[in-house]
């Protein structure tokens, strides 16, 4: 008799293991669709503009240094002095004393097939000032130093995003911006040749107005000794990225505002910048960014992946409910019927991912869950020979689908919620089966297998 129970458990366990095959196939479909979506994003970036990172501004003052070297050469008894003059081209780099960036991000979604990609146009105003130390300005009086025309550099990750409406004012004078950076550590961007007098100026103020197109992400490398960035947008799903989080931020359904503040004490930018310009070690400098990423709210593929991770748990709990009906009500249920129920549960995930690509995830979840609950409730009412039992089973599935939705929606508390759910289910099973006489289980039992209660009186 005990073998019948063992056989039943092994059969149900084997079916659960076999259902891993279609679940693995569905998980593969989700990953394939996700990779195809990522490929669409890359294609859109190639044909238009990609994510943007703004570096700067940086003031560069080139100069030529003349170095005289004397060597002595002995020719016979006579010693001759040979004077050799060498000239070296050098550059001095200055970071802004302070820099303020204000930006308004206008967004739209571009479609390619069923996929949509968030793109933006950022209207930016960047203002700041450079302070040239006296020790450098005094080089103009050094006969061995020849200062050359200074220029201002602004790094832009994808130069294709720069619109025609870009302007620069330096000390209230309009200066033309040109493509290229004339530096070895910033690959793409703009530069502006400044009047020669700025190489000797104690202070250089600048203002840049720019319209910049990009996709998904806008970030900044804070080169100022004190940098303040303020951004606003109507996009409701921002994700703040980089080494520094906003000092203040507000996020609502109508958009977001965010404000960052950094200094050389917090960013260590002076040291990173020096290592980049002198030793070509630019990784720390380039990693010192912050900004915002325009997420699309709920990632349907991520949530579908989460739901599949809990599929075995979900199918196992459903089989437990099915088995309890069989044990408590004395209704024999064939392994084929368990298998059909399991396949229907697995198809829920396929319905979910296919629907969520076209409609909101929550609506796709409701439709897929309702379809599976309706099908299984109808089927189980005939298997258990009772409409009321089919309705009860369908209600149990509704509760399980509700719990699963809470699990996949929660990132921080998914493990806690899952463990509590398992404990609650185990408690429920132990309570309702506390009077079951497992020794009476036989194949094809026709009546409830409940022990007679012991009279305590």
pLDDT range class, residue 445, cuts 50, 70, 90:
very low
Nearest CA to 224 out of 134, 154, 149, 278 is that of: 154
CB 114, CB 354: distance < 8 Å: no
Residue 288 has pLDDT above 80, yes or no: yes
Helix H, strand E, coil C: the string for 259-274 is EEEEEHHHHCHHHHHH
Query: What pLDDT sits at residue 71?
Result: 76
Top-confidence residue, 71 or 173: 173
Query: What pLDDT sits at residue 154?
Result: 94
Query: What pLDDT sits at residue 438?
Result: 62
Partners of residue 235 on adjacent β-strands:
none
Query: What pLDDT sits at residue 68?
Result: 80
Top mean-pLDDT range of 26-35, 42-51, 207-216, 424-433: 207-216
Residue 182 has pLDDT above 60, yes or no: yes
51-294 to CATH, choices 2.60.120, 2.60.40, 3.20.20, 1.20.140:
2.60.40
Query: What pLDDT sits at residue 414?
Result: 66
What are the sequence ranges of the domains in the chain?
2-37+300-440, 51-294
Question: pLDDT tens across 119-144, in order?
Answer: 899 999 999 999 988 888 887 778 88
DSSP state of 440: G
Window from 216-225, 294-303, 393-402 with minimum mean pLDDT: 294-303
The Cβ of residue 57 has, within 10 Å, a number of other Cβ atoms equal to 27
pLDDT range class, residue 316, cuts 50, 70, 90:
confident
Residue 436 has pLDDT above 70, yes or no: no
What mean pLDDT do residues 292-317 have? 77
DSSP code string of 317-386? HHHHHHHHHHHHHT----HHHHHHHHHHHHHHHHHHHHHHTTS-HHHHHHHHHHHHHHHHHHHHHHHTT-
Query: What pLDDT sits at residue 423?
Result: 82
pTM above 0.75, yes or no: no
Vertex 377, ends 375 and 380: CA angle to 5°? Answer: 105
């Amino acid at each position: 008799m005990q073998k019948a129970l063992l056989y039943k458990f092994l059969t149900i366990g084997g079916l659960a293991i076999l259902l891993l095959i279609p679940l693995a196939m569905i998980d593969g479909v989700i990953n394939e669709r996700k990779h195809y979506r990522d490929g669409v994003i890359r294609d859109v970036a190639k044909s238009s503009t990609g994510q943007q990172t703004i570096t700067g501004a940086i003031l560069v003052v080139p100069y030529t240094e003349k170095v005289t070297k004397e060597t002595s050469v002995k020719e016979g008894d006579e010693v001759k002095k040979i004077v050799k003059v060498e000239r070296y081209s050098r550059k001095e780099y200055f970071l802004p004393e302070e820099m303020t960036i204000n930006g308004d991000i206008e967004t739209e979604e571009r479609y390619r097939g069923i996929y949509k990609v968030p793109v933006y146009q950022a209207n930016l105003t960047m203002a700041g000032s450079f302070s040239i130390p006296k020790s450098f300005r005094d080089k103009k009086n050094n006969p061995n130093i020849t200062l050359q025309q200074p220029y201002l550099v602004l790094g832009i990750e994808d130069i294709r995003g720069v619109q025609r409406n870009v302007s620069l004012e330096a000390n209230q004078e309009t200066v033309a911006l040109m493509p290229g950076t004339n530096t070895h550590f910033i690959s793409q961007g703009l530069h502006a040749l400044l009047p020669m007098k700025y190489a000797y100026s104690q202070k250089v103020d600048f203002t840049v107005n720019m319209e910049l197109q990009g996709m998904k992400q806008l970030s900044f490398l804070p080169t100022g000794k004190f940098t303040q960035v303020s951004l606003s947008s109507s996009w409701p799903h921002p994700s703040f990225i980089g080494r520094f989080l906003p000092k203040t931020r507000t996020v609502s359904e109508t958009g977001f505002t965010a404000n960052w503040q950094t200094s050389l004490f917090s960013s260590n930018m002076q040291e990173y910048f020096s290592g980049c310009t002198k030793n070509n070690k630019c990784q720390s400098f380039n990693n010192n960014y912050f900004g915002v990423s325009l997420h699309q709210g709920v990632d349907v593929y991520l949530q579908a992946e989460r739901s599949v991770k809990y599929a075995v748990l979900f199918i196992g709990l459903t089989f437990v409910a099915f088995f309890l009906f069989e044990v408590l009500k004395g209704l024999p249920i064939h392994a084929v019927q368990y298998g059909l129920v399991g396949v229907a549960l697995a198809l829920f995930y396929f319905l979910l991912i296919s629907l969520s690509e076209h409609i909101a995830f929550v609506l796709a979840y409701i439709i897929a869950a309702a379809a599976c609950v309706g099908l299984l409730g109808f089927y189980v009412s005939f298997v258990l020979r009772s409409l009321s039992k089919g309705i009860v089973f369908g209600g149990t599935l509704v509760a399980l689908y509700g719990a699963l939705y809470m699990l996949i929606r929660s990132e921080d508390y998914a493990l806690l919620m899952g463990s509590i759910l398992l404990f609650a289910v185990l408690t429920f099973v132990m309570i309702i089966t506390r009077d079951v006489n497992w020794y009476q289980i036989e194949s094809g039992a026709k009546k409830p297998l409940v022990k007679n209660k012991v009279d305590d009186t």
